[in-house]
Amino acid sequence: MTTNYFDRDVAERYDDLDDPMFSPAVLGPTVDLLADLADGRPALELAIGTGRVALPLSERGVRVHGIELSEAMVDQLRTKPGSERIAVAIGDMTETRVEGRFGLAYLVFNTIGNVTTQDGQVAVFETAAAHLEPGGLFLVETLVPGVRRLPAGERFAVFGHTGAHVGIDEYDVATQRTWSHHYSSEDGETFRRRSIPFRYAWPAELDLMARIAGLRLEHRWGDWDRRPFTAESAKHVSVWVKPG
Ligand SMILES: C[S@@+](CC[C@H](N)C(=O)[O-])C[C@H]1O[C@@H](n2cnc3c(N)ncnc32)[C@H](O)[C@@H]1O
């Protein structure tokens, strides 16, 4: 059974407007590219969350559906104007199916890594492929595995350090598992730990997953602005097509 790490406590704090992922500088190019790829066709967001991307995309005239594991996240979406235009199925994106065929399916913000087995990640590609019309596109935005930041023999990397929060990524390169450990404090003295597991995959492994699901690589960019993907890219925005 899939664990829900986005419970009510997390969902109520998810839309932290100070997070750069909610800024126009990030959401503008994100929505521009998704609207362009949708090209007037309906879109399906896997792991739609609180609608960070789905709502502005829907405002651009794209008909958006969603699949989401956490009811608490969808409850937050439902508090927002415009959410009535977005149908959401509560379920696991490794197996949930919804009515309709889509020109675009997308899975953003590193969420492929929330599925922590290789079989599960393949199943996510199969979910996307099952919902696409011929010629339809599946877009994934995710980090390039951060293992190059690790000195030889080390398995921990600090990714944030303030008085209120310390973030440490833990890697197991044998299993491609990582854990993001968040230590949070209200008073700077007592810290509460929350750890979320991920599975990382190199772009080439995702390409094989896509092939298993009957898709083939169409684009790989280094970010939403379609900059080239290079050896120094920290993330990638990849698009696979379902042959027509
Ligand atoms: C980092 S949030 C991203 C939410 C939204 N896509 C965004 O960009 O803000 C990850 C979301 O994935 C959802 N999620 C994780 N595993 C899932 C699964 N197996 N099936 C469906 N949703 C899942 C979580 O509940 C959470 O809402």
Nearest CA to ligand 1 atom 3: 49
Q: What's the mean pLDDT in 180-195? A: 92
Ligand 1 pocket: which residues have CB below 6 Å? 2, 6, 47-49, 52-53, 67-70, 73, 92-94, 108-109, 111, 114-115
Higher-pLDDT residue of 72, 16:
72
Q: Which of 9, 23, 70 maximizes ligand 1 atoms within 8 Å of its Cβ, making it the mutation to test the pocket?
A: 70
CATH for 8-145+201-241, options being 3.40.50.920, 3.40.50.150, 3.60.10.10, 3.40.50.1820: 3.40.50.150
Ligand 1 centroid to Cα of residue 152, in Å, is 32
Please check the confidence at residue 1 and state whether its pLDDT lies above 90: no
Predicted confidence (pLDDT) at residue 148 exceeds the cutoff of 80: yes
Residue ranges of the domains in the chain? 8-145+201-241, 147-196
pLDDT tens digit string along 201-226? 999 999 999 999 999 999 999 999 99
Give the pLDDT confidence score for residue 188 in this predicted structure: 86
- 38 pLDDT higher than 90: yes
Tens-place pLDDT, residues 91-122: 999 999 999 999 999 999 999 999 999 999 99
pLDDT of residue 16: 81
- β-strand pairing of 235-241 with 216-221: antiparallel
Q: What is the mean pLDDT of residues 170-187?
A: 95
| Nearest-atom index, ligand 1, CA of 52 | 9
At 29 the pLDDT is 98
Q: Which atom of ligand 1 is nearest to the CA of 107?
A: 6
Report the C-alpha gap between 237 and 240 in whole angstroms. Answer: 10
User: Given pLDDT bands bounded at 50, 70 and 90, which one contains residue 240?
Assistant: very high
Question: What pLDDT, on a 0 to 100 scale, did the predictor assign at position 116?
Answer: 97
Q: Which of 18-22, 140-144, 180-184, 217-221 has the lowest mean pLDDT?
A: 18-22
d(CA 212, CA 167): 35
Q: What is the pLDDT of residue 238?
A: 99
Which tokens in the block code for residue 154? 């080390």
pLDDT of residue 102: 98
- Answering whether pTM is above 0.85, one says yes
- 76-87: average pLDDT: 98
Q: What is the pLDDT of residue 149?
A: 87
Q: Which of 4, 5, 6 maximizes ligand 1 atoms within 8 Å of its Cβ, making it the mutation to test the pocket?
A: 6
Q: How far is the CA of 189 from the centre of ligand 1 (A)?
A: 31
Residue closest by Cα to atom 13 of ligand 1: 47
